């Protein structure tokens, strides 16, 4: 057995893994960075006195002078009661049936929360949305508390998936949001801040206090 070759191969695979995770981490950071600017507080990109789109006849909607976060929240609300098949695999060309998963119950629950909590209080909850996405950007950029950032990213991405995946007008491709969910799960599981990130230094700093039972140190290890 050539242990030298095996060791070199193992080191090479670890380096490739670490570089890959850092690239994905920075990619997710940049994705959320690009989304900060069209919903800047305090107006969150909303116009016309925080107007929201209105449903109209013919399965359509009126923009109603809305924009920014108000526009997209309004679309989620309008589409909440419509059929929502996702994870669609149309295999009819191969003589097999089309398969999908219906998330309509989850979309209706999302719409209920939007209509009764978030939309009436957009001036407050707009901050929650913006700060959550800023937190994801910052944690992924710095590699700081990346497990926490990944958890927040899962929540944001799942809400967007339930609210917007495969809505008919404008059509929103489900995998635009599905990919965000998967990337967020990967970042939560892989904790890439431990490679070329602040978490790598931070974990060394709190490792000994955590062994002594320090609660804050244990929390830092858990979130990083």
**pLDDT class of 149 with cuts at 50, 70, 90:** very high
**Once rounded to an integer, what is the mean pLDDT over residues 89-113?**
96
State residue 97's pLDDT score. 94
How many Å apart are CA 24 and CA 35, to the nearest integer?
A: 17
**pLDDT class of 69 with cuts at 50, 70, 90:** very high
Is 0.75 topped by the overall pTM? yes
**Once rounded to an integer, what is the mean pLDDT over residues 25-44?**
97
pLDDT tens across 160-197, in order? 999 999 999 899 999 999 999 999 999 999 999 998 89
């Amino acid at each position: 057995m050539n242990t030298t070759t095996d060791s070199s191969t193992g080191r090479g695979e670890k380096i490739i893994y670490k570089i890959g995770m850092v690239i994905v981490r920075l990619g997710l950071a940049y994705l959320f960075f690009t989304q900060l600017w069209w919903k800047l507080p305090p107006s969150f990109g909303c116009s016309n006195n925080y107007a929201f789109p209105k449903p109209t006849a013919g399965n359509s909607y009126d923009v109603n002078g809305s924009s920014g976060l108000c526009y997209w929240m309004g679309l989620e609300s309008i589409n909440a009661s419509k059929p929502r098949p996702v994870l669609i695999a149309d295999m009819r060309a191969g003589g097999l049936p089309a398969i999908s998963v219906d998330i309509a119950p989850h979309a209706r629950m999302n719409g209920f929360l939007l209509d009764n909590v978030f939309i009436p209080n957009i001036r407050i909850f707009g901050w929650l949305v913006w700060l959550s996405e800023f937190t994801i950007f910052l944690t992924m950029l710095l590699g700081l508390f990346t497990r926490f950032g990944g958890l927040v990213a899962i929540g944001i991405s799942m809400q967007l998936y339930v609210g917007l995946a495969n809505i008919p007008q404008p059509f929103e491709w489900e995998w635009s949001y599905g990919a965000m969910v998967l990337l967020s799960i990967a970042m939560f599981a892989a904790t890439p801040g431990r490679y070329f990130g602040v978490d790598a230094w931070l974990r060394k700093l709190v490792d000994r206090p955590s062994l002594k039972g320090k609660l804050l140190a244990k929390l830092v290890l858990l979130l990083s």
